[in-house]
Amino acid sequence: MAERSLDAHVALRLSAFERHPSFVATDGAARSVREHLETLHGQGVVRSLEEDGEHLAVLAWREADHPFFGQRICTVAFDQRVEPRHAERVERWLDAVLGEELPQMQVDLDLSLDRAYGGAYRVLKAHGLGIDSVVLLGRPEVALERLRASSSAALSLPPNLRIEPMVTSHIDAVLALQRATFVAEPQFCFFGANEAYLEGCRERLVTELTNDPTHLQRVLFDGQDLVGHVSATVDHDRSFWGATAGMSLLLSPVLRGQGLLRPLYGYLLEGMVERGARTFKGGTSQPAVLRLGKIMGRPLHTALMRRQRFFDEAHFGDFVPG
């Protein structure tokens, strides 16, 4: 019975991925999905809805210390059939299951909800959960073309700022900027100032700066002051999306409101194209990034749901499931 629920959950999650045009169906993608869900099914709580021997929906959760976030998190995975004829039954079932399971979840949640699960989103919202951030996809070439066409202004930095390749001696200053930023603004990354998370960032930076001579880790200087860190890391072996870039932009408060986001995005997108990235993917709740996401034609992949809510639904505009 347990193996059957796991098999059904894997199939439902892969079906959700397959609805995204950028998805690349590979054995590696199927293995990654199974490995993630196997831990929840083997060590956590599993609830499933069946009809005539078919799984219509599966919810699995497990509470544990999470090495990436640097804190204890309740990881929740939910997937469902999306045919309209099942919608009402799935929503009623999910409402009842959440009423039983949410009180047992003692810490905040990490729940990635696929963009097609609009009914589930409404049920989760009724139980007090909200969107923490949204994960957007994009094609670097398309995004760059649309970014250039969106304004007559050149994608260039002001003369007082210079951008340089990052080296290991910059790491302490970059992490200090990150710590200060997310202590002041936890709404944009609730775990961004956790020391365990920052230590993981340090290890990843050291590895990339040491081992990848083509890295796209960059720092921004105003005179002698390090005032920003931007990066795009291209994974050429990503199972789900082909060659995939993740990106990060971290700017000192002194740079806010100067129109730097467009030129910095342009810089990183050019670097992604040069390095053969097929897709770029990342989560955000930053209003300016959400606006650029629409300009660049980036579709929603998932909404990250949590109990602790900093934003209302309107903050995310069209980037909500449903």
Q: Is residue 289 within 8 Å of residue 261, measured between CB atoms?
A: yes
Q: Domain holding 41: CATH number? A: 3.40.630.30
Q: Is residue 312 part of a domain?
A: no
CA 223 to chain centre: 33
Determine what percent of the chain is predicted with pLDDT higher than 70.
100
DSSP letter at 45? Answer: E
Q: Is residue 62 within 8 Å of residue 107, measured between CB atoms?
A: no
- Same domain, yes or no: 57 and 168: no
- Same domain, yes or no: 122 and 145: no
At 248 the three-state DSSP class reads strand
Q: Is residue 305 part of a domain?
A: no
Which contiguous run of DSSP H or E holds residue 315? none
- Same domain, yes or no: 213 and 288: yes
Q: What angle do CA 251, 211, 156 make, to 5 degrees?
A: 35
Residues with Cβ < 8 Å from 242, sequence gap 6 or more?
Answer: 24, 278, 279
Q: Is residue 297 within 8 Å of residue 145, measured between CB atoms?
A: no
- Same domain, yes or no: 182 and 258: yes
User: What angle do helix axes 140-149 and 261-274 make, rounded to 10 degrees?
Assistant: 140
- Same domain, yes or no: 142 and 205: yes
Provide the strand spans (E) within 81-187: 109-114, 130-138, 161-165
CA distance linking residue 165 with residue 121, whole number of Å = 42
CA distances from 227 to 155, 163, 174 (A): 19, 10, 9
Convert the pLDDT of each residue in 114-163 to its tens digit: 999 999 999 999 999 999 999 999 999 999 999 999 987 778 889 999 99
Last residue of a domain, one of 78, 98, 128: 128
Q: Is residue 34 part of a domain?
A: yes
Convert the pLDDT of each residue in 224-271 to its tens digit: 999 999 999 999 888 899 999 999 999 999 898 888 999 999 999 999
- Same domain, yes or no: 238 and 265: yes
Our separate counts of H helices and E strands in the chain read 9, 11
- Same domain, yes or no: 146 and 274: yes
Predicted pLDDT of residue 120: 98
CA distance linking residue 160 with residue 177, whole number of Å = 19
Q: Is residue 310 part of a domain?
A: no
CA distance linking residue 316 with residue 74, whole number of Å = 24
Residue 85 is part of which domain span? Answer: 2-128
For the record, the structure tokens of 45 come out as 């709580």
- Same domain, yes or no: 202 and 235: yes
For the segment 7-14, the average pLDDT, to the nearest whole number, is 97
Q: Is residue 30 part of a domain?
A: yes
Convert the pLDDT of each residue in 42-69 to its tens digit: 999 999 999 999 999 999 999 999 888 8
Which contiguous run of DSSP H or E holds residue 94? helix 84-101
How many structural domains comprise the chain?
Answer: 2
Q: Is residue 90 within 8 Å of residue 58, measured between CB atoms?
A: no
- Same domain, yes or no: 291 and 142: yes
- Same domain, yes or no: 205 and 121: no
- Same domain, yes or no: 45 and 173: no
- Same domain, yes or no: 178 and 99: no
